[in-house]
Amino acid sequence: MVLRPGWFPEYSPAEQLVFDEVKAIIEANYRQYGFAHIQTPAVEPNTVLLAKNGEDAGKQIFWLYGLAQGKDDAKDYALHFDLTVPFARYVLDWENVLTFPFKRYQIQPVRRGERSQRGRFKEFWQSDIDVIWQDTEKWVIGKNLYYDAEILVVIAKTLHEIVAKFLDNKPFTVHINNRYLLAWFFSQFDEKVIPQLYNLLDKYYKISFDVFQKELALLVSSADVAKIVSFVQTTFDRLDPNLVDNDVYRKGYQEVQEVLRFVDGLNQENKYSIIWDPCIIRGLDYYTGTVYETLFDDDFALGSISSGGRYENLTGYINPKKSHYSGVGWSIWLSRMVYLILETMKPEHTTQTEYLFVHFPETIKDVLMLANIFINEGKNVEVYPSAEKLGKQFAYADKKWIPHVVILGEGEKILHRYKIKNMKTGEEREVGL
């Protein structure tokens, strides 16, 4: 019987190594582009968590109270449900010591009381990057749009390395859109149905096209269904910057155009598949410009493996006097990525130990001295704890996939040598002490 609560992932040692390797790839790429590491507490004040999307966010939050005292003991803080809200609070608390634009990465678990399904959990790890800056001027198009492109390429490069190592180069595409283009297009419909149209569009890749059309027909006229279908099937090169005399449209178009221009410069080898996609909206409403989703080309049902977008006035909903911070951020859904990897492979390596030292009671002092030399050289070692039969000690190394066994018994000591056995090939080599 499994005792742990459902949909709160836990890994075997072999699976944990996969998780750690994926996390290491993400961290290395984030650091390579100058993002600084931060960490925030697992809890945030309720006033912060509920400052935006209060009712909807409240449905997802795990509240805290003393079990013996009951709900009347509810605390004024709760577990955070994402890393963007804590980051906004962090910026306000540390603004006097931060250098802007501030580039941060944060890899931590979050908890949400949402419906669990394939690749979705109540506790999961996110790996966020954001750039935030002080924005006190009005811009015709978004400020620092280079960062929208840089973050896109950082994420694409990171995912490319992960799928190359673990998923046989499984093809994926970064889908990019802009909230201003969406606002322009949906402004022609009855404002009462716009939220429902947004929600339906957000489900576009999770339902069939026939279902999409049928659900549209329940909200708008057949003529409007045709307009929406035409819009979702449009490609960016078919849009005209002068298509309409509308500032919102032009702003959205020019922002996408500028971001893609920077992306072309950063992706000159054309390694990554990137498309403009009118169906990408992102559910959280703090996004105001560029929005992104990343999907596997052959597994839309899994959902996005990374997503993000641009936001203006990120901190203003926490403190209205501090409404001048804007930025762009993205997250790789680390737990979902690991879930998919473990669906496709059964990891066998349970340790990062490179060398197992055989335990001989008559030479144990020399064995430990040699093991310390290996450790000081940066090697990962393990000493077998007791003088069991050699077969049992070798079987232990074999079961844990430890690639090398070091043998220093009385015979080797007399000859001032020790042996290293390659557990894969069975070959042994002698090394002088």
- pLDDT tens sequence across 206-219: 899 999 999 999 99
Q: Give percent above pLDDT 70 in the chain.
A: 97
Give whichever of 22-26, 110-114, 264-268 has the largest mean pLDDT: 22-26
Q: Is 334 annotated as a binding residue?
A: no
Model confidence at 151: pLDDT above 60: yes
168 is in an annotated binding site: no
- Has 126 been labeled as part of a binding site? yes
pLDDT digits (tens, 9 = 90+) for 172-218: 999 999 999 999 999 999 999 999 999 999 899 989 999 999 999 99
**What is the C-alpha separation between 309 and 285, in angstroms, rounded?**
10
Domain 136-311: CATH architecture, name and number where available: 2-Layer Sandwich (3.30)
| The CATH number of the domain covering residues in 355-432 | 3.40.50.800
Residue 20 is labelled as binding a ligand? no
Give residue-wise pLDDT tens across range 227-236.
Answer: 999 999 999 9
Confidence of residue 284 (pLDDT cuts 50, 70, 90): low
Q: Is 396 annotated as a binding residue?
A: no
Domain boundaries, the chain: 136-311, 355-432
Chain segment 96-131, per-residue pLDDT in tens: 999 999 999 999 999 998 777 777 888 999 999 999
Would the annotation count 130 as a binding residue? yes
Q: Which of 112-121, 351-360, 361-370, 389-398 has the lowest mean pLDDT?
A: 112-121
120 is in an annotated binding site: no
Please determine whether the domains at 136-311 and 355-432 fall in the same fold group of CATH. Answer: no
- In this predicted structure, which of 22-31, 85-94, 138-147 has the lowest mean pLDDT? 138-147
For residue 50, is pLDDT > 90? Answer: no
Inform me whether the pLDDT recorded for 274 exceeds 90.
yes
To the question of whether residue 83 is assigned a binding role by annotation, the answer is yes
